Amino acid sequence: MNDTLGRRERALLAAIAAALLVALVWLRGGLNSTAPLEQLARRSLDLPVALADGRPTIVEFYADWCEACRAMAPAMAAMEQTQHDKLDVVLLNVDNPRWQPELDRFDVNGIPQLQLFDANGVSVGRAVGARSAPELEALGQALIAQAPLPQLAGVGPTSPLDNDALPVTANPGTMASPRSHG
């Protein structure tokens, strides 16, 4: 009787684990996800490669759970597909500790954030917040044409100063990170 109860408990635990696995795969878009954000992230070049290949680059700092990032994904994917020979699109997930140096370097304190680079790999600006397809297209075209960035809310040039030259205005330990939403 005791052995039967152990088998039932193991079978129940195995069924629950299988159901959780199926739910997780389904929530993530399946084994071969058609979700644009995940497809674009998988196709994304490594940042050093993109910055050195002679094409302008748009880096999106994103998270899988970010609704604005998901909403922008189809337009980002379309731009990446139509401009792939003229413009690089790189996605860096803020939840991946591998990208912490980039999060710090580009002062990412919210998502989505786009960091914009010219063909020489020099940061020329950033765009903070969700962007519509026409706004993304305008940013991409400005980078390709080496033209000034369009005047959009939340878009601006980056400072030529390095972070060491900036005055310290807050204790870094008290500043919010892109992952602090609690």
The answer on 94 and 12 residing in a single domain is no
Candidates 40, 47, 59, 66; catalytic one: 66
66 is catalytic: yes
Res 54: pLDDT: 95
Q: Tell me if 180 is assigned to some domain.
A: no
Same domain (yes/no): 120, 169: yes
Same domain for 14 and 40: no
Question: Do 18 and 54 belong together in one domain?
Answer: no
Q: Which domain holds residue 97?
A: 36-174
Residue 43 phi, psi (nearest 5) = -80, -15
The verdict on 79 and 4 lying in the same domain is no
**Marked catalytic residue, from 69, 72, 89, 139:** 69
Give the domain CATH number at 153.
Answer: 3.40.30.10
Cα 163 from chain centre: 22
The answer to whether residue 149 is domain-embedded is: yes
Percent of the chain clearing pLDDT 90 (strictly above):
52
Q: Is 75 a catalytic site residue?
A: no
Mean pLDDT of the chain: 82
Q: What is the pLDDT of residues 41-81, one digit of tens each?
A: 888 889 999 999 999 999 999 998 999 999 999 999 999 99
Domain co-membership, 85 together with 154:
yes
CA–CA dist 57, 126 (Å, integer):
11
- pTM, 2 dp: 0.69
Number of domains in the chain: 2
Could you tell me if 106 and 122 are in contact, meaning their C-beta atoms sit under 8 angstroms apart? no
Same domain, 53 and 23: no
Q: Are residues 116 and 140 in the same domain?
A: yes
Residues 103 and 147 in one domain: yes
Look at residue 1 and tell me if it is in a domain. Answer: yes
Does a cis peptide bond (omega within 30 degrees of 0) precede residue 112? yes
Q: Judge if 102 and 122 occupy the same domain.
A: yes
